[in-house]
């Protein structure tokens, strides 16, 4: 168990603030504060050859709960070999790279390059059976949640569940990656009971890969501060403007809503729901 620590002001190079790598089974990372460092906050890693037996060469059966992770960015990391800032925007608050059977819940992840990423950098290898729930993810630069390999030569994200998360005002770079950024090789994942609110880019989901398959999206709340017809979803490399167009064109989210969730005070980062919110039962801490 790794509990109640503060990690900050770290110059990490190619390492991470807190890493669990390879043959580590059944562990917990609880109630830590990790901030103001130049690479990933928490990293659960597999397939880097730390174990000679592939069966055991991945972190597995972990719990990452109750952590606060903020101001994590690779932009001032000297290991990239370029002038600083390097504008890489590649460090996640929480990153699963080739892990399996993890529960990641009740974390506050904000003002990082990427909020939470579940992916695999190794071809033919997967991050699998990850439960990502009850997390508050906001004001991250590149995207809120990223999943899948960063190109089709990488590994996959499979059989994972993303639910009851509040994902708000990410994609601060206005690069169009949205609140959820689906990369290559995402298969048979479930996305439900989440609240997504875009920023000025208006992009809620970005999924350019037509090969992504078996992913189920339903019972979510979507909202953009722009007029509804300007809200954007990119699904299998087709752009849909407006919620109705997205639902009809993608076949996703038949029971989802496009509605202002009515946060208590989003200007002051209070994303609890007002008593009159139509999004009760969705998002961070809504079902407890």
Question: Which one is predicted more confidently, 256 or 47?
Answer: 256
Nearest 10 degrees: Cα torsion 112, 265, 228, 213 = 40
Confidence of residue 131 (pLDDT cuts 50, 70, 90): very high
Q: Which three-class secondary structure state does DSSP give residue 55? A: helix
30, 133, 134 from 172: Cα distances, Å: 28, 23, 22
| Alpha-carbon span 12 to 77, nearest angstrom | 7
Provide the percentage of residues in the chain whose pLDDT is more than 90: 80
Report yes or no on 117 lying in a domain: yes
Task: State the pLDDT at residue 212.
Answer: 94
* pLDDT tens column, 50-108: 888 888 889 999 999 999 999 999 999 988 878 889 988 989 999 999 999 999 999 99
| Residue range(s) defining the domain that contains residue 240 | 2-266
Indicate the number of domains in the chain. Answer: 1
DSSP percent split of the chain into helix, strand, coil, nearest 5: 5, 40, 50
Nearest C-alpha neighbor of 140 from the set 172, 166, 188: 172
pTM of the model: 0.96
* pLDDT tens column, 52-67: 888 888 999 999 999 9
| Alpha-carbon span 181 to 118, nearest angstrom | 11
Please state, rounded to an integer, the average pLDDT across all residues of the chain. 94
Please provide residue 124's backbone torsions phi and psi, each rounded to the nearest 5 degrees: 80, 0
Give mean pLDDT, residues 173-180.
Answer: 97
Report yes or no on 36 lying in a domain: yes
Report yes or no on 199 lying in a domain: yes
Confidence of residue 153 (pLDDT cuts 50, 70, 90): confident
Residue 6, judged by CB atoms within 10 A of its CB (0-12, 13-18, 19+), counts as exposed
Specify the DSSP class assigned to residue 244. Answer: H
Report yes or no on 280 lying in a domain: no
CATH number of the domain that 105 lies in? 2.160.20
Report yes or no on 279 lying in a domain: no
Report yes or no on 284 lying in a domain: no
Provide the percentage of residues in the chain whose pLDDT is more than 70: 99
Residue 230: which region, alpha, beta or left (left: phi > 0; alpha: psi -120 to 50)? alpha
Report yes or no on 272 lying in a domain: no
| Alpha-carbon span 58 to 39, nearest angstrom | 20
| Alpha-carbon span 184 to 169, nearest angstrom | 23
| Alpha-carbon span 218 to 229, nearest angstrom | 20
| Alpha-carbon span 266 to 280, nearest angstrom | 16
Buried b / exposed e over 203-233, threshold 16 CB at 10 Å, is: bbbbbebeebeebebebbbbbbeeeeeebbb
Report yes or no on 9 lying in a domain: yes
């Amino acid at each position: 168990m790794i509990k109640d620590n503060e990690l900050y002001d770290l110059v990490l190079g190619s390492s991470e603030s807190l890493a669990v790598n390879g043959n580590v089974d059944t562990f917990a990372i609880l109630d830590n504060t990790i901030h103001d460092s130049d690479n990933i906050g928490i990293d659960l890693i597999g397939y880097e050859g730390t174990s000679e037996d592939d069966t055991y060469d991945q972190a597995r059966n972990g719990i990452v709960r109750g952590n606060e992770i903020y101001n994590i960015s690779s932009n001032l990391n000297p290991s990239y070999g370029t002038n600083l800032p390097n504008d890489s925007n590649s460090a996640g608050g929480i990153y699963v790279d080739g892990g399996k059977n993890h529960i990641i819940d009740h974390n506050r992840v904000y003002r990082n390059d990427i909020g939470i990423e579940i992916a695999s950098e190794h071809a033919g290898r997967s991050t699998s059976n990850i439960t990502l729930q009850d997390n508050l993810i906001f004001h991250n630069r590149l995207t809120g949640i990223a999943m899948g390999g960063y190109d089709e030569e990488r590994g996959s994200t499979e059989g994972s569940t993303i639910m009851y998360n509040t994902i708000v005002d990410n994609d601060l770079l206005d690069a169009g990656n949205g609140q959820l950024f689906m990369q290559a090789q995402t298969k048979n994942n479930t996305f439900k009971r989440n609240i997504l609110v875009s920023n000025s880019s208006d992009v809620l989901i970005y999924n350019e890969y037509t090969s992504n398959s078996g992913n189920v999206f339903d019972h979510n709340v979507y909202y953009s501060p722009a007029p509804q017809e300007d809200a954007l979803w990119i699904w299998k490399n087709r752009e849909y403007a407006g919620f109705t167009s997205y639902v009809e064109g993608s076949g996703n989210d038949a029971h989802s809503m496009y509605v202002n969730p009515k946060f208590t005070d989003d200007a002051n980062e209070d994303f609890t729901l007002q008593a009159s919110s139509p999004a009760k039962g969705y998002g961070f801490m809504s079902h407890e």
